Amino acid sequence: MFRQAYCYNPFLTKCLSETMKLNRTLIISVFIVASCGLAYELIMAALASYLLGDSILQFSSIIGLYLFAMGIGAHLTKYIKDEDALARFIEIELLVGIIGGVSALALFVAFGLSAAPFRTLLYALVLTVGTVVGMEIPLVMRVLNQQQADFKELVSRVLTFDYLGALAVSLLFPLVLAPKLGMARSALLFGLLNAAVAVLTAKMFKSQLPRYRAIQTRGVFVLLILGLGFVYANKITFKAEQSYFSDPIVYESHSPYQRLVVTRWKDDTRLYINGNLQFSSRDEARYHEALVLPAMQMVPNAQNILILGGGDGLAAREVLKYPQVKKVTLVDLDPHMTDTFKHSGELSKLNNRSLSHPKMHIVNADAAKWLEETGGKFDVIIIDFPDPANFSLGKLYSVPVYRLVARHLAPNGLISVQSTSPYFAPNAYWSIVATLEAAGLYTAPYHVYVPSFGEWGFVLAGRENHFPLPEKFDVATRFLNGQTAAEMFRFPPDMARRKVEPNFLNTQILVSYFEQDWGNVMR
């Protein structure tokens, strides 16, 4: 009889319904706050990687510090009284929303000042946001526990939605948010979500909040600030980025893999990837002619050409000067890069519209995986990867990858490799030479002076120790001729070969050489 009376008591039934509704609201909030918490961590790590380089170090240090800060936040919740848990949870959501939301904008502005305040602000934000994010879940669980929820089910549901939220943002961030919204607007979007959770939770629990109107007013104010930031974020970041570069920015964009910025001053167009200069239109011909033409000239009747990297199409432009070429396959990881230099009128002029040439076949894939999965032989293979500044790039300069490349080399074919500076990074340069040799190839190192970069190095490699220096070039050039080509293969004493180790995947010694060499230059 008691059970029957309990079930049909209208007042108790209404109370149970309200309690269940409030609990569902809090559980949904867990999903959202978990997404936001991971998003801030990813955004700050990605920004540090873009602006400071060395993505492995940046992601590792920031994730470690962020988790440590979350532990501090979880510990601090023990000093919050049970009766204050709900109000503190709402206030923390507003706090993490405003700090996390503006974090990317603040970092962009700080980097424009110098790297020192950027690093200080970066780690301060990681500690602050991590601490307040660490307070969220313990407080939610205490609020739910006060609603007389079953503890075993409570823990299960909260942690399930916590992990689901983390999974959702880990997929959305690289695939949708970063390329579509960019870092600053993505952070502001998640800040808006945190603030919305605070406002909605306050409204649902207003009967339990003595200062409901004050909390709601603060929530609306935070939403307004973040909304205005979202609207004007691109203008703010554009002005901040303009201070990084000496020339006006004419194009900038994000992709899941990198950030592209193009600047122009008079007749000088420059491409920056993640803040690092890739070429200047005033002297890029020196670089690309040196990279491509010696190999093309040394392999008579080269018809089938492979380019790894080189998504700007400038190396392809040099290859297509040779009329006997029948097919050029270009493998570049980032479709955004190749699309930009294929379809942008101004940028496609630089590569003579090589990416739209009927002989060109563009593949957007990881070069190492593509080499593993694809057959075929190539007369000349041009490798134009970015410098080995981190482990993900360093693997492309490793013995296993060069062995893969050699499998695709036709008899009497040649490989040409962009190999960083033998003057500024001599250990890294000669390590690349040693790596090619450890892969079973003969090498012919050479270098050229490029005003934008200084002395720059390349390596020819092949199965035979036969590298006939060209006395002339059969195509039009801006820099190379028989005399300059001969000079490229001579090294002065201050760039002489060094005894260094080859680069294996297990050790990635090349990345260490590269960091040490360039670190010495910056001192």
Q: Tell me whether residue 72 is in a domain.
A: yes
Beta carbons within 8 Å of 353's beta carbon, 6+ residues apart: none
Average of pLDDT values for 358-374?
94
Residues 71 and 129 in one domain: yes
With the C-alpha atoms ordered 300, 301, 306, 310, is the resulting torsion angle positive or negative?
positive
With the C-alpha atoms ordered 142, 148, 149, 151, is the resulting torsion angle positive or negative?
positive
Q: Tell me whether residue 342 is in a domain.
A: yes
Beta carbons within 8 Å of 122's beta carbon, 6+ residues apart: 44, 47, 48, 62, 107, 110
Average of pLDDT values for 142-170?
74
Average of pLDDT values for 173-192?
85
3-state secondary structure of 476: coil
- Note the pLDDT tens digit of each residue in 370-390: 999 998 999 999 999 989 887
Residues 324 and 191 in one domain: no
Please state, in angstroms and rounded to a whole number, the distance separating the CA atoms of residues 165 and 464: 56
On whether 148 is known to bind a ligand per the annotation, the reply is no
On whether 343 is known to bind a ligand per the annotation, the reply is no
Please state, in angstroms and rounded to a whole number, the distance separating the CA atoms of residues 390 and 437: 22
On whether 312 is known to bind a ligand per the annotation, the reply is yes
Residues 216 and 349 in one domain: no
Contact 260, 311 (CB under 8 A): no
Q: Tell me whether residue 252 is in a domain.
A: no
Structural domain ending residue among the three candidates 243, 259, 293:
243
Residues 87 and 210 in one domain: yes
Domain boundaries, position 363: 281-520
Which CATH number fits the domain that encloses residue 204? Answer: 1.20.1250
Residues 416 and 508 in one domain: yes
Q: Tell me whether residue 68 is in a domain.
A: yes
Which position has the higher pLDDT, 38 or 304? 304
Share of the chain above pLDDT 70, in %: 89
Residues 322 and 228 in one domain: no
Question: Per the confidence metrics, is the pTM higher than 0.85?
Answer: no
Structural domain ending residue among the three candidates 243, 273, 303:
243
- Note the pLDDT tens digit of each residue in 50-107: 666 656 677 888 889 999 999 999 999 999 988 888 899 899 999 999 999 999 888 8
On whether 162 is known to bind a ligand per the annotation, the reply is no
How do 249-254 and 304-309 pair as beta strands?
unpaired
Residues 235 and 359 in one domain: no
Which CATH number fits the domain that encloses residue 409? Answer: 3.40.50.150
On whether 54 is known to bind a ligand per the annotation, the reply is no
Q: Tell me whether residue 5 is in a domain.
A: no
pLDDT of amino acid 169: 83
Query: How many domains is the chain built from?
Result: 2
Which position has the higher pLDDT, 250 or 191? 191
Catalytic residue status for 384: yes
Write down the mean pLDDT value for the chain: 86
Residues 504 and 388 in one domain: yes
pLDDT of amino acid 4: 39
Residues 293 and 238 in one domain: no
Residues 224 and 294 in one domain: no
Check 384, 387, 474, 494 and give the catalytic one.
384
Residues 85 and 146 in one domain: yes
> Confidence class of residue 38 from pLDDT cuts 50, 70 and 90?
confident
Q: Tell me whether residue 248 is in a domain.
A: no
Q: Tell me whether residue 249 is in a domain.
A: no
Residues 227 and 317 in one domain: no
Residue (of 288, 326, 287) closest to 410 by Cα position: 326
On whether 474 is known to bind a ligand per the annotation, the reply is no
* Number of other CB atoms surrounding residue 502 within 10 Å: 21
pLDDT of amino acid 284: 94
Question: Is 11's pLDDT higher than 50?
Answer: no
Question: Is 186's pLDDT higher than 80?
Answer: yes
Please state, in angstroms and rounded to a whole number, the distance separating the CA atoms of residues 214 and 229: 23
User: Both tokens of residue 262?
Assistant: 């193009």
Q: Tell me whether residue 3 is in a domain.
A: no
Please state, in angstroms and rounded to a whole number, the distance separating the CA atoms of residues 151 and 148: 8
pLDDT of amino acid 124: 93
